[in-house]
Amino acid sequence: MGGLRQAAEDYLAMRRSLGFALVREGQMLMSFITHLEQAGAASITTELAVSWAVRTRPGVNPACRNRRLTVVRIFARHLHAIDPSAEVPPAGLMASHYPRVTPHLYTPEEITALMTAAAALKHPLRALTYQTLIGLLGITGMRVGEACGLDCTDVDLEAGLLTIRAGKLGKAREVPLHPTATQALRAYGQQRDQLCRVVSTPGFFVNTRGNRLAARHVPEVFAELREAAGIRPAPGGRNPRAHDLRHSFCVATMVGWYRAGVDVHAHLPLLSTYVGHVDPVSTYWYLQEGSGIASDGRRLPGSAAMQAA
């Protein structure tokens, strides 16, 4: 059994050396190795791979099981080159697609309402931080984790440029800012330093104790702000999230291009690069949302509107 575990550890080390984080995938793979050990198996079999993949809590989306099986399949292909007895589970054994839930597309008025609700939070530093964070998410389409991960040295107010050092899949990128955004971030930095004299983090966004604002706490606070702003989900839909600000930015940008007569398909790689998508394919499905929203009469948060929000 030590051979399988060692092979899995070597495999993960090899892929991580190539730049893959494999945090969750690594945990799943080692869980599968434990499953093999408990079954007394000398190598991977499709039967054992499937029996492990379906060991999920009740109510989990079936596509999660496919993801677990995919982790095993990729490792099995690697192992098969070393151990021909290792079976590679065939593709298509389980459902592979997550049902896409339509995101909430915020209007400029709703973004303003969220920022107003944030400004009303009791602690002045907390209010300032969340008001600025929401504004930044709205005008850049950044991920919450990327914004919370910014260090002060990543915010170049002279050049009007943010440096995201560790985006999704470990990709770094630069995010140019509109002058109004630069001005807002400069004001935040000055007021932050006045409200929090003792800071124990290089992070740009801080909490009331002077530590880096943790991305994991943002959804809870955002839900409070959403309720205060009176933003409700569409009938049958889920509650609007902070991440939906990212969707709103992308859709608004593309709808603005359509209205201006710009070749959206030619410009899509620019948007993909700006928001940190791996390739335009990851951005392309937003077009489906944009086509539906453009004709519903709502005023979308286009570039100029969002810069002023």
Q: Do both 137 and 74 map to the same domain?
A: no
Q: Do both 144 and 230 map to the same domain?
A: yes
Q: At 136, which CATH number?
A: 1.10.443.10
pLDDT of residue 279: 64
pLDDT in tens, 131-185: 999 999 999 999 999 999 999 999 999 999 999 986 555 578 899 999 999 999 9
- Asked if the structure places residue 99 within a domain, the reply is no
Residue 171, exposed/middle/buried by CB under 10 A (0-12, 13-18, 19+)? middle
Q: Are 181 and 140 in contact (CB under 8 A)?
A: yes
- Residue length, the chain? 309
Sign of torsion over alpha carbons 127, 133, 135, 137: negative
CA distance 182 to 215: 22
Give the count of alpha carbons within 13 A of 230, CB side only.
Answer: 5
pTM beyond 0.85, yes or no:
no
Tokens of 126: 């907390």
Residue span of the structural domain in which 113 resides: 108-308
104 an active-site residue?
no
pLDDT in tens, 179-209: 999 999 999 999 999 999 888 999 999 999 9
Q: Which of 73, 212, 246, 247 is catalytic?
A: 246
143 an active-site residue?
yes
- Asked if the structure places residue 102 within a domain, the reply is no
- Asked if the structure places residue 133 within a domain, the reply is yes
Of the given ranges (1-10, 51-60, 106-115, 289-298), which has the lowest mean pLDDT?
A: 289-298
CA distance 79 to 7: 8
Q: Do both 140 and 289 map to the same domain?
A: yes
Q: Which of 68, 78, 143, 241 is catalytic?
A: 143
Q: Are 293 and 258 in contact (CB under 8 A)?
A: no
Q: How confident is the model at residue 286 (pLDDT cuts 50, 70, 90)?
A: low
Q: Are 203 and 150 in contact (CB under 8 A)?
A: yes
Q: Do both 48 and 125 map to the same domain?
A: no
CA distance 304 to 139: 9
Q: Do both 137 and 190 map to the same domain?
A: yes
168 an active-site residue?
yes
Q: How confident is the model at residue 266 (pLDDT cuts 50, 70, 90)?
A: confident
- Closest to 105 in 3D by CA, of 291, 219, 272, 246: 246
Q: Which of 106, 130, 274, 286 is catalytic?
A: 286
Tokens of 30: 């080692």
Q: Do both 55 and 114 map to the same domain?
A: no
246 an active-site residue?
yes
Q: Which of 243, 258, 267, 284 is catalytic?
A: 243
pLDDT of residue 184: 97
- Asked if the structure places residue 92 within a domain, the reply is no
pLDDT in tens, 117-126: 999 999 999 9
Mean pLDDT across the chain: 86
Q: Which of 67, 80, 168, 173 is catalytic?
A: 168
Domains held by the chain: number: 2
